[in-house]
Structure 1
Amino acid sequence: FASLAMAGTLCVAGAVVANNVAFATGADQTAAKPAPWSDAGKKLKGKITINKWKYEGENIKNTPVNGAKFKVTKVTKIGANNVDVTTYAGWEDIAKQVTKLNTNDESGVTLAANGTEKEIKNGKAEFTDLDLGLYKVEESFVPNGYSSDVKPFYMTVPQIDEVNGGGAKFVYEVSANPKNKDVSGNITKAVDDTKKFVGAGDTIAYTISAAVNKSKPTSGNLKETDIQGYTVFDDAPTDAFETIDESVVKTVKFGSSNLSKTTDYTVEKTTDKTQAKKLADGYTRISVKFTSEGLKKIVGVLNTDADPSKPSKVVVSLEFKIKDNRDKNNNQKKDVTSVVNKSGFTNGHGDNENPGDPVVPGEGTPGSVAKTEFGYLQVNKVNASDNAKKLANAEFKLFAEQDKANACAKGLAEGKAIANVTECASASTFNGKTNKNGEFDTSYKAKAGTAIYLVETKAPEGYALSDTPKAITITANQTHTETFENVPTSDHDWFNLPKTGAAGVIIFALAGMCLVAVGMFIFLRNRKKDEEQQAA
């Protein structure tokens, strides 16, 4: 049975070499089956069962994975020789090909014109009523969120197993247990909080952090050809931003190394769902595709990572300008108040591996999407003495940071020009001015759920400038109206004071003039009397 033992190594070697695949016999077959080259054996049919598992450890099979598809195709020739398992010599020929096939060297392999593809349901797919022979098994579709590192492998029907105590048995119902790693958590997406924004017209920054779906093998090194096609992408809601094109990608890094555009990666934009699989309606995909040179740099870092369990990652920085989507009449036009920015990646793959569809984790995967809520800000600018009086021509700015808002307001209240107050430059792009109704012409789209700070930069004529910013928290998809009062100056709706030429002053003046006239009259009369007396 030396040759039989050698033939049996076809599956044993496959279990060792093929990534994440283990082989087993089928259901209990207590009745001895005849050899496939016997007259009785030649009449039998076989069965291959693929049991699909989530990778949770080398010998752990706890979580079935549904949705994957496997294709089984019969091998008809290797080189010039027909593959025939109904003769002993045919098995000897197959045995000579074990090492070659286990290393995915398919040179000279001829397959049948049509294979059979089945989807994994309830954790398995069964290929029944198979002719005896050698079969190629390949994962033709990888379920979303899983790695594509199950390489094609080969199985014989029947399989020759060793019997305890010596000898061999022939198993016509065989199975394999390929495993896929859950890679949906390999990518995270977040708003970059170091770059502040308030709302429409401002720039919002995102950071994507993605791990490569493969790591350095236990022996040897990872090669750039092992991760061909590895791509990281951003799926941005088209109506949420002013411009979505290649320019939104600002930097790309791997580990601590900066990668160079064109040399290490290219950037592509598409809204074509036939090109960008799993692109949702209303989204635009911006893809960072790594060149051969970029892949070399990536594997170079992965092969030298100090802790392979904590591999270096791709970090992509992006910036978008927030869009308002409102017309001059304040009417909504496909407005976006809940901005869900997604991300994903395409598995890197080897020459004989199927990368599967892109991995686009949903909102159910923590940290995989960045969601920002928006609402609207309006003001009610009024006279502090009489709120019914609406004030026009008040001007405002908005800040994301309280300390910057306080400093700007303080400097302006001290009479400084806005250009001379450094902190005022930290304001958002918003420039609000009230109309005759004491309102902005259009409400302003601003982020919801966190405080923003409203600063008056110019008061209406006849009113004192406020030195106190207003802290405002807007509710998502709602309009918040903030009443903002101004104190009038003394000549506008203030206390009444006596003025020059008032009635009280005139009375005293007239009285004084009368006294002077009476005194003069008496003086002149007495003088006349004195003169008359002297003349007599």
Structure 2
Amino acid sequence: MKSLKRTLAIAAAAGMLSTAGMTGIATAQTATPAAPPSTISANQQASLHIHKFQNDTPGPAGNGTPIGDTSGLGKPLAGAVFKVEQVNGVDLTKNEGWVQAADIAKGTAQPSGFGTAKNVTTNAQGQADVTGLPIGLYRVTETSAPAGNQITTEPFYVTLPMTNPQDRSSWMYDVHVYPKNQKQTDVISKKVTDESAVIEGRNIQYDVTGKLPSSQKLARAELVDVYPADRLGTPQVTKVTYGDGTQANPSDYTLDTSTPGQAKVKFTQSGLAKLDTLQGDNRKATATFSFPVTKSQGTGPLNPIENRALVIAKGEGDNTPDPDPNNPNDPSVIPPGKGPESYFGNVKVSKTDENNTPLNGVGFDLYRCNSNDKDKLGEKLAENLTTQNGSLTINGLHVNDFVNGAAGKTDPSGYCLVEVKAAEGHSLLAEPAYFQVLRSGEGPVNLTSVDLKNVKDNAGFNLPLTGGKGVTLMLVLGGLIIVIGAGYAYMSSRKDRGES
């Protein structure tokens, strides 16, 4: 009777360990059994095949056999790293070893130790194979999840071999397991602050936040800003912050701008060590980039500035390719058309007289201002802007109806041109000229036209003459009278003296 109970316990232990501790699906492929089929040979070697999928929905527990149709299991994941360790002191060629394994499965016993770990990484098909393994009990631990995913598979145990579930009369030495990962949400996010970038040369600020995958140890972590190099100049990094709120030291990262259109914050060994201490929601980092807005070309419509980002995070042993910045299906990437946008517009100022004749050499200063209080000018943005052929172009003014990545009003609400030098023979403008640059919908910002007219000095009225023809004639006549009088007096005096 005792012998029968012991045999039943061993059989139950074998069945229990086939699924114990697994948050995935375990399956296996039938191999040619040893003879006799119920005996395990100590010289036999086994293989473990790990199949990794991304799936948020739990499925049924596996039985160690391979699954032919995996279309319902989710997306195969490359780059997941697993550590496979044999439990010391558990001899599965003996019935006593199976009882030990069963006690570990029930939690009534703990492993006495582990052998040398083997680390494997899933390939493009989401598969990692560990071959040539001695017969024994193994613990499998996922140590690093691919970027954009979180580890949801708890460490699990698997016996090599397992009882073949298809005939229950033989052993299978090739075991297949199907652990899954859940997809991280909001892996990469971005915030834009452009309210101060009111004109070319000013800076736009971007905060790039990347979540990092669960990993025993990070081997590489980068926050990458993907920007239009024709619209934004060379960036600077003003600060880097860890998920727990602490600020990174300058030695924790470097800034790499060697790839056109990409600014990469690369964490150094000291930075990676700090990231490794973060867990849960704190396992992330934020880099703040600052870009100057460069010169806008032309005088026509101006496209928005779109800024994107991606995060690169890998554990030890992960050699998968870096994310493609244009891949719309990669959770670690903000793809084209999804990044925050900043809108700027060009302005053409036309300066003419009452007869629409262009006025050259008219000078202006540009200010921020409000329409209802133009006498209280805000910040001066440019000075001594001068018309040529009756016009001037102001490039790259920030729109007044879309700020910090969302529809809204700027403060001040617009711009003012103050005429500081009038055209020859014309009057200065009596007050600032207010205008706005408007986005008015998605797409390019149309050219803003500002038409200003000047009148002649004194509104064209003639002032009283300070010295005209009448005064001159009187002076001439007065002079002639004096000369004639002097001549008459001279002739009279000679006559009186009897001179001829």
Q: Does the pair score TM above 0.5?
A: yes
Matched, 1:383 2:369: no
Q: What is residue 289 of structure 2 aligned with on the other side?
A: 318
Gaps of 5+ in 2: 1-6, 62-70, 403-408, 478-500
What residue number does 2:385 align with?
433
Aligned-partner Cα distance in 2 for 1:104–1:321: 61
Q: How does 1:40-79 map to 2 (within 5 A)?
A: 48=49, 50=51, 52-56=53-57, 64-68=74-78
Contact kept in structure 2, 1:189 and 1:209, CA below 8 Å: yes
1:424 corresponds to which residue?
378
Match of 1:454 among 415, 419, 424: 415
How far the C-alpha of 1:90 sits from its partner, in A, is: 11
Cα pair 1:148 1:347 within 8 Å, conserved: no
Q: Give the TM-score normalised by structure 2.
A: 0.62
2:437 is matched with which residue?
Answer: 472
Aligned to 2:447, the other structure's residue is in SS state: strand
Aligned match for 2:271, one of 284, 291, 305: 291
In the other structure, the counterpart of 1:484 is 451
Q: One-letter code of the match for 1:464?
A: L
For 1:261, the equivalent position in structure 2 comes to 249
Correspondence for 1:340 among 306, 310, 322:
306
1:64 Cα deviation after fit:
0.5
Three-state SS of the structure 2 residue aligned to 1:196 is coil
Q: Aligned letter for 2:184?
A: V
Inter-CA distance 44–110: structure 2 relative to 1 (3 Å threshold): closer
CA contact (8 A) 1:233 1:345 kept: yes
Map residues 228-377 of structure 1 onto 2, 5 A cutoff: 228=218, 231=221, 233-237=223-227, 239=229, 240-245=231-236, 248-250=237-239, 252=241, 254=243, 257-262=245-250, 266-271=252-257, 282-287=261-266, 291=271, 294-295=274-275, 298-299=278-279, 314-324=285-295, 337-347=303-313, 354=318, 368=334, 370-374=339-343, 376-377=345-346
Contact 1:7 1:91 in 2 (8 A): no
Distance change in 2, residues 1:470/1:74 (3 Å) = closer
Pair 119,130 (structure 1): closer, same or farther in 2 beyond 3 Å: farther
State the identity as a percent: 13
State the distance in 1 between where 2:437 and 2:258 align.
41
Q: Shift in Å at residue 398 of structure 1?
A: 5.3
SS of equivalent residue, structure 1 residue 291: helix
1:399-418, aligned counterparts within 5 Å? 399=368, 403=370, 407=373, 409-411=374-376
- Are 1:456 and 1:469, in contact at CA under 8 Å, matched by a contact in 2? yes
Secondary structure, counterpart of 1:204 in structure 2: strand
Contact 2:351 2:453 in 1 (8 A): yes
Q: Secondary structure of the equivalent of 1:119?
A: coil
Q: Do the aligned partners of residues 321 and 34 (structure 1) sit closer, same or farther apart at CA in structure 2, a change above 3 Å counting?
A: closer
Structure 1 counterpart of 2:486: none
What secondary structure is seen at the aligned counterpart in 2 of 1:454?
Answer: strand
Cα distance, 1:386–1:182 mapped onto 2, change above 3 Å: farther
Q: Give deviations 1:147-168, integer Å, cap 9, x for gaps.
A: 35658866455423799xxx98
d(CA) in 2 for partners of 1:50 and 1:312?
26
Counterpart residue type for residue 287 of structure 1: K
Pick the structure with more strand per residue.
Answer: 2
Give the C-alpha shift of residue 447 in structure 1: 4.2
Gaps of 5+ in 1: 16-20, 215-224, 274-280, 303-309, 412-422, 514-536
C-alpha change, 1:391 and 1:381, in structure 2 (3 Å) is farther
**Partner Cα separation in structure 1 for residue 462 and residue 183 of structure 2:** 81
Distance 1:353 1:104 in 2: 27
* Paired residue type of 2:116: G
Correspondence for 2:495:
none
More helix by share: 1
Cα deviation for residue 22 of structure 1 reads 2.1
Matches within 5 A, 1:498-509: 499-500=464-465
| Residue type at the aligned position of 1:68 | A
SS in 1 for 2:264: strand
The one-letter code of the counterpart of 1:187 is: I
Root-mean-square deviation (CA, aligned residues, Å) is: 5.6
Equivalent position to 2:149, from 141, 146, 150 = 146
Partner of 1:525: none
Structure 1 length normalisation: TM-score?
0.58
- In the alignment of these two chains, the number of paired residues is 426
Go from structure 1 to structure 2 and tell me whether the alpha carbon gap of 1:4 and 1:104 turns closer, same or farther (over 3 Å shift): same
